Chains A and B, each alone.
Chain A
């Protein structure tokens, strides 16, 4: 492609993208403007028509109707509010879509910046058309827009790094924010006094209040920016955790200074009460959240029969926690976080897989829309004003915020590093300091100020908006190149390997063991105690059924397998497995490509195969014992998965018989038999033939040339022997309870081991219905 064509192509793409964006922008604006127009007209219409209606009615009673029946009327008024709300959300979503079609922009500018710009444009447009601008109503913000974002953050909070760094996060959040507020407030007051003229009216308390508003790191802005730069986990959790936890401090300081500023004077008692208030707010919020979280967990225990509304409980309880905390002026954000964190392990164990997916997706969707709306409204509110620009004040504010943040972070890190095992380097400190973005919370708090007590409210508002713009635009845009420049460690690809999980747990146990030997009651010791308490007491109450006994390793393993099975199923065929999957899938993919014929199987390999096959024999869903091959009777709980399992098994059997009859090889439907055996404890394999579990293998075999049959038979004979000896031993094992034993893995193992044994020249007719397989075997 020549340079010219490339240039033209690029130009075309850009123009197309711009067109899309412009179109959506204009559409959105036109609609919203039209809506507000419509509102005006609508009023006239309704009054008109109602008047008319009565008129006609009175007429009707005495005179015949003088007007034809209205076929088409416009009554905008009664849908106005929902209509406008929907339009705004639609605008926000279209913006999000359009954003990704401008690759140049999206790689340089973080999404939040673009959204604010869009908000500015929309606001400008509306103002041009002379309509009233919707302002970011504080109530709307705090009650509707903020909770989804916080809940999303709290529910998916990575608890391990959070708890490991909790001390650091708390120090940054509490001490850092207090330091910031006081520093900014005091110095600003000093500057105001020096400045004189209009600024002299600003007294100390007002300045302190301003400081407390301006000092809070905003979770929304941080999330928006940090999510795109994929920074390493430690830094992410530090900045993000700080932004979440400083809400308690902000709430307390804000109310404190607001009270004092209205009263006009402060006593020492008040200051002490303020500190007490902080603890009450913080711990009260956490307590409320925990209570609601536990109630949600208990409720989820009983949702086995109405799986459809399970996600609703998650959302409702969390929202109630938030609102309840707000009633008492406790920290709603901390309540929400506590609720999400407490609720999650138990609820996830109880709810069905589909509900879990629903919760995850709805939360992500909601928080995404909320975030977009917040930024757009921020832009619109900027246009709305009212503004009172004061150069000195604004510049000083921005300057002070930066300085105090840097000083705070450096100073605190110096102290914290004495207690940390993994010290924070200079680079880390820089990112933490630089990532302290301000956002819409600061704006809303400033907006909330009563203007009678605070005559300089407009000035504050302008300063806060400028500060937000500065941090989001300047810091938000430059943090990505800076991260690259400083070569800060990025987030490592999360490969869920079973080895890491095993060793993770191993190391944890080892560390707590060594701590016990040392006699040291450290971090690991307490964590161990907590998890033991959790296991023995709490889980019994909060998790339904046998899942409460499931150790973490098993559930991790099951989740992993399920994930992979779904991935394989989605990808359609086993041959298309991408690189990110586990070794099982990898191996099976590799094995497809191997066309070599194995002359003889090595002894050890054989032994392994045998061992694995034997292992698979017991991989039955041991709860479901007695159903015979003719009627599939569910014995115990009616989990949807078991029902589906049955259905799929039946289907699978049908399909296998079809394949087998089609191929007309000498198999007397071993897989079918095998399948039943798998699930049927009584039916102890009279005729073990092909290695079980693996309908897939059999399908493969079907396509194998007849020459390999002999080889397979040899293998299966040996397998048979092993099964025979395995039979007696494992007859009793069915009584054992088992969790979702997952065989898919070992299943894949055999599949490709055997395929290595056999030649596989035929086309791959393997439609690996991995999901089926998984259910089939579990």
Chain B
């Protein structure tokens, strides 16, 4: 267990706990991990994340890393991206993956769903114009297929085109001949991925995470 660079106040932890919903225990563990990744400094940079060896094998590695530095994920209405983040931002991004509590009302569940979907949407919508254009979607599919090697971009393009068209047909129904489907808005995004049950899938078990053994 590495020594803390600075021992945070207990009440800071409480604030964080209230803000993100993590328990104190989980915050301590995540703070350890943060310190490990940032080599005991207060800020985390992109290179620190890129150094994680397992992450290097991930096809969408760059997008995951970007998500940590995206202002939109830190608070509502944020824009652009930053070069380095502190522990609070790290924790905020992690909180998107917290499993929902059991006894929630339907609205709360819906809210959680929207939050998670917003995170996902932001990952795709790199230029922050509120829509996922065809180019951006193509980029997503290319990244997904990037590890499979020899296929090249064209299959990815056609898949992305197909997907785009599907969204268009589901969201807009009949399009008039003059209409042009500019991009997937957040509402359309919600609609097409309704079946995915993201509130149950996009979760990480934050319990019992003793990261010190598995540190890399």
Interface residues of A (CB under 8 A from B): 421-423, 492, 495, 497-500, 502-507, 509-525, 528, 532, 549-551, 553-554, 557, 582-584, 586-587, 590, 594, 596, 598, 602, 604-605, 608, 612, 615, 618-619, 733, 736-739, 741-743, 745-746, 749, 756-757
| Cβ-defined contact, A502 with B163, below 8 A | yes
Task: Assess whether B60 is in contact with A598, with CB atoms less than 8 Å apart.
Answer: no
Task: Determine the residue in chain A with the shortest Cβ distance to B33.
Answer: A519
Q: How far is the CB of B183 from chain A (nearest CB, A)?
A: 11
Asked if B64 is at the interface of the complex by the 8 Å CB criterion, the answer is yes
- Evaluate whether A551 and B158 lie within 8 angstroms (CB atoms) in the complex, with A499-B167, A500-B196, A516-B52 already known: no
Instruction: Give the CA-CA distance A514 to B60 in the complex, in Å.
Output: 11
- A551/B54 in contact, CB under 8 A: no
**Whole-angstrom CA separation of A583 from B173 in the bound complex:** 9
Confirm or deny: B200 has a beta carbon within 8 angstroms of a beta carbon on chain A: yes
- Besides A507-B198, A519-B216, A615-B158, 15 new A-B residue pairs in contact (Cβ under 8 A), listed by A number: A498-B159, A500-B195, A500-B196, A503-B196, A504-B196, A506-B60, A506-B144, A514-B64, A516-B55, A523-B205, A553-B159, A615-B161, A733-B152, A741-B158, A742-B158
B114, chain A: closest CB distance, angstroms: 16
When A506-B140, A619-B158 are in contact, do A498 and B166 touch as well, CB less than 8 Å? yes
**Does chain A have a CB within 8 A of B106?**
no
A293 to chain B, nearest CB (A): 25
Complex formed: what's the CA distance from A749 to B97 in Å? 37
Is the CB of B108 closer than 8 A to any CB of chain A? no
Give CA–CA (A605, B201) in the complex, Å. Answer: 36
Whether the Cβ atoms of A517 and B64 lie closer than 8 Å is: yes
Could you tell me which residues of chain B, from 173 to 194, have a CB within 8 Å of some CB in chain A? 174, 176-178, 180, 182, 192-193
Residue in B closest to A505 when the chains form the complex, CB atoms: B144
Mark each residue of chain B from 145 to 162: 1 if its CB lies under 8 Å from any CB of chain A, else 0.
Answer: 101111110110111011
Question: Chain B residues near A514 (CB, 8 Å)?
Answer: 64, 94, 97, 204
| B171 CB to nearest chain A CB (Å) | 10
Task: Report chain B residues within 8 Å CB of A512.
Answer: 58
In the assembly, what is the distance between CA of A514 and CA of B202, in Å? 10
Query: Given B159, B193, B200, which contacts A421 in the complex, CB threshold below 8 Å?
Result: B200
Given known pairs A583-B165, A737-B150, the reply for A519 and B193 (CB within 8 Å) is no
Q: Is B82 an interface residue (CB 8 A)?
A: no
- Docked complex Cα distance between A353 and B157 (Å): 26
Asked if A519 and B211 make an inter-chain contact with CB atoms under 8 angstroms apart, the answer reads: yes
On chain A, the residues within 8 Å of B24 by CB distance are: none
* Cα of A741 to Cα of B161 in the assembled complex, Å: 13
Q: Report yes or no: A519 in contact with B215, Cβ–Cβ below 8 A.
A: yes
Find out whether the CB atom of B166 lies under 8 angstroms from the CB atom of A497. Answer: yes
Q: Which residues of B contact A742 (CB under 8 A)?
A: 158
In the complex, what residue of chain A is closest to B154 when comparing beta carbons? A618
State the Cβ distance, B146 to closest chain A Cβ, in Å.
Answer: 10
One of B49, B144, B203 near A517 (C-beta < 8 A): B49
Question: Is B61 located at the chain interface by the 8 A CB criterion?
Answer: yes
- Give complex CA distance A523, B204 in Å: 9
B28 on the interface (CB 8 Å rule)? no
Determine if B214 and A520 form an interchain contact, defined as CB atoms under 8 angstroms apart. yes
Q: How far is the CB of A606 from chain B (nearest CB, A)?
A: 10
**For B64, what are the chain A residues with a Cβ–Cβ distance below 8 Å?**
510, 513-514, 517
Task: Verify if B30 is at the interface (C-beta below 8 Å from A).
Answer: yes
Tell me which residues across on chain A come within 8 A of B196, comparing CB atoms: 500, 503-504, 507
A422 touches B169 (CB 8 A): no
Whether a CB of chain A sits under 8 angstroms from the CB of B102 is: yes
Taken together as a complex, chains A and B put the C-alpha atoms of A497 and B94 apart, in Å, by 29
Which of B158, B170, B206 is the most central at the interface, judged by chain A CB atoms within 10 Å of its CB? B158
Contact between A604 and B211, CB atoms less than 8 A apart:
no
In the bound complex, do residue B198 and residue A736 qualify as a contact, i.e. CB atoms below 8 Å apart? no
* Distance of A280 Cα from B138 Cα, bound (Å): 50
Interface contact A509-B58, CB-CB below 8 Å:
yes
B163 contacts A509, CB within 8 Å? no
Q: Is the CB of B57 closer than 8 A to any CB of chain A?
A: yes
Given A587-B169, A594-B177, A598-B177, answer yes or no on A509-B144 (Cβ-Cβ < 8 Å): yes
